[in-house]
């Protein structure tokens, strides 16, 4: 038509698949670059070798044993490889892509390394081949399942076996772990009904109990371990806050109505299976991630905790799951519940295990999301007690210790809350056997 003025409309077209993966890759690249500024190249190389050789069950801070640069490079490389695997498998970017890659980065600062994850991933491939299904169906389970990678390292530490025997045994065990993870994770999900976000951590804890029990029966003992670096809060707070603030700013450039759609995220329960990238878009998800990252970092600093490999891993877990269930409304009550536990119970909130429980207790965010603040406080309080005690049964071999504890608490607490909320439940016939 003629005679009408030309109007320029600002068009936020959808990001291409490739662009989304490139944006995600900026996070590990950011830390790899930081790593090369913080440690000389030869120190990084020696540090990575040390990281690969050292036992890495809970709690082993890679900053302390390999150096800050080596830890960042190890984590960055593994995350880039994870992103590349998903991309070249032809999968679309989803919230679970972000979550799994952020967890890979975070836990590669204190347990996963460039050598000990691959046998488990091979087991996932074997499972998909056996069932004649695509590996894309189980790839995220594989990424999460590398929480058991310290078992692989520990087998390589068995002193009375030849190197070849240790290598073969570690591969066999890794294949076995990867093969049983998918069916077991499906089964454990029914136990807590999605109210614990770290479902694979729950199933991994069960596997770790079985394997560690077998190891002990053959006389392989696992000593307690606590390697925890201190004194870098200013440096790491600066790195983290700059990154998270960048996420927030960038989110507003990606699409319109980011703030309104973020408010929609806050209204959700956050049950396992939630995907904010699919339901609300990449921009609002990025905003949610940045806000949660800033808040969790500030909470840790304010209470006097240390920023190091394990705690940055915990923060990255919160930020990663901000794409698949966590937001301020459902994580803050859980964290406050843990802090109350530190006040009342016989431990300090600044203890290493307690700090990790504070950050990783947010696996129970869906409880606060659906049942409210009071339920969230109770869940966090109970979780703090469980998380500080259950790890002894598998000797710290499951990096997602809080996932195991959270699964137990959700399985116990949710039916109780539901029965109290719904008085009619008392009149129903229950299958309890």
Give domain limits for the chain.
Answer: 17-218, 242-424
pLDDT at 424 (0 to 100): 54
Distance CA 343, CA 28 (A): 36
- Phi and psi at 67, nearest 5°, equal 100, 155
Distance CA 156, CA 176 (A): 16
pLDDT at 2 (0 to 100): 42
pLDDT at 321 (0 to 100): 97
Identify the burial level of 393 via C-beta atoms within 10 angstroms of its C-beta, where 0-12 means exposed, 13-18 middle and 19 or more buried: middle
pLDDT at 347 (0 to 100): 85
pLDDT lower than 70: segments of the chain: 1-13, 423-433
Pull the structure tokens for residue 252.
């507003």
* Predicted confidence (pLDDT) per residue in 283-335, tens digit: 999 999 999 999 999 999 999 999 999 999 999 999 999 999 999 999 999 99
Query: pTM of this prediction?
Result: 0.93
Q: Which of 367, 376, 369 is nearest to 334 (CA)?
A: 376
pLDDT at 380 (0 to 100): 96
Q: How far is CA 266 from CA 129, 329, 336, 363, 378, in A?
A: 40, 6, 18, 16, 21
pLDDT at 3 (0 to 100): 44
């Amino acid at each position: 038509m003629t005679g009408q003025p030309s109007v320029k409309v600002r068009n936020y077209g959808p990001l291409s698949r490739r662009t989304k993966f490139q944006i995600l890759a900026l996070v590990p690249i950011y830390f790899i670059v930081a790593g090369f500024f913080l440690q000389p190249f030869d120190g990084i190389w020696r540090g990575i070798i040390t990281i690969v050789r050292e036992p890495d069950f809970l709690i082993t801070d890679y900053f302390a044993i390999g150096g800050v640069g080596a830890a960042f490079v190890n984590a960055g490389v593994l995350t880039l490889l994870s992103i590349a695997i998903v991309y070249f498998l032809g999968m679309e970017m989803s919230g679970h892509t972000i979550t799994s890659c952020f967890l890979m980065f975070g836990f590669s600062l204190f347990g996963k390394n460039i050598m000990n994850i691959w046998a488990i991933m091979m087991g996932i491939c074997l499972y998909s081949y056996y069932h004649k299904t695509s590996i894309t169906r189980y790839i995220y389970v594989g990424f999460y399942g590398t929480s058991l990678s310290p078992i692989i390292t520990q087998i390589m530490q068995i002193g009375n076996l030849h190197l070849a025997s240790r290598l073969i045994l570690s591969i066999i065990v890794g294949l076995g772990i990867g093969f049983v993870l998918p069916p077991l994770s499906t089964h454990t999900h029914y136990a807590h009904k999605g109210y614990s976000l770290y479902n694979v951590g729950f199933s991994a804890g069960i596997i770790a109990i079985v394997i560690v029990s077998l190891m002990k029966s053959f006389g392989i003992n696992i000593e307690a371990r606590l390697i925890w670096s201190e004194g870098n809060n200013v440096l790491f707070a600066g790195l983290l806050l700059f990154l998270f603030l960048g996420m927030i700013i960038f989110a507003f450039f990606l699409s319109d109505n980011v703030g309104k759609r973020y408010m929609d995220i806050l209204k959700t329960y956050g049950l396992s299976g939630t995907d904010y990238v699919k339901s609300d878009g990449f921009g609002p998800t990025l905003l949610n991630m940045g806000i949660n990252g800033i808040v969790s970092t500030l909470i840790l600093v304010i209470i006097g905790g240390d920023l190091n490999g394990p705690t940055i891993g915990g923060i990255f877990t919160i930020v990663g799951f901000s794409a698949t269930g966590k937001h301020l409304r459902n994580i803050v009550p859980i964290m406050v519940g843990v802090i109350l536990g530190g006040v009342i119970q016989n431990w300090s909130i600044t203890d290493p295990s307690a700090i990790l429980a504070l950050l990783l207790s947010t696996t129970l965010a869906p409880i606060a999301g659906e049942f409210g603040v009071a339920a969230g406080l109770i869940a966090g309080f109970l979780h703090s007690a469980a998380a500080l005690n259950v790890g002894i049964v598998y000797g710290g071999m499951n990096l997602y210790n809080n996932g195991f504890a959270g699964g137990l608490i959700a399985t116990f607490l949710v039916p109780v809350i539901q029965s109290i909320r719904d008085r009619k439940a008392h009149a129903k016939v229950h299958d309890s056997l």
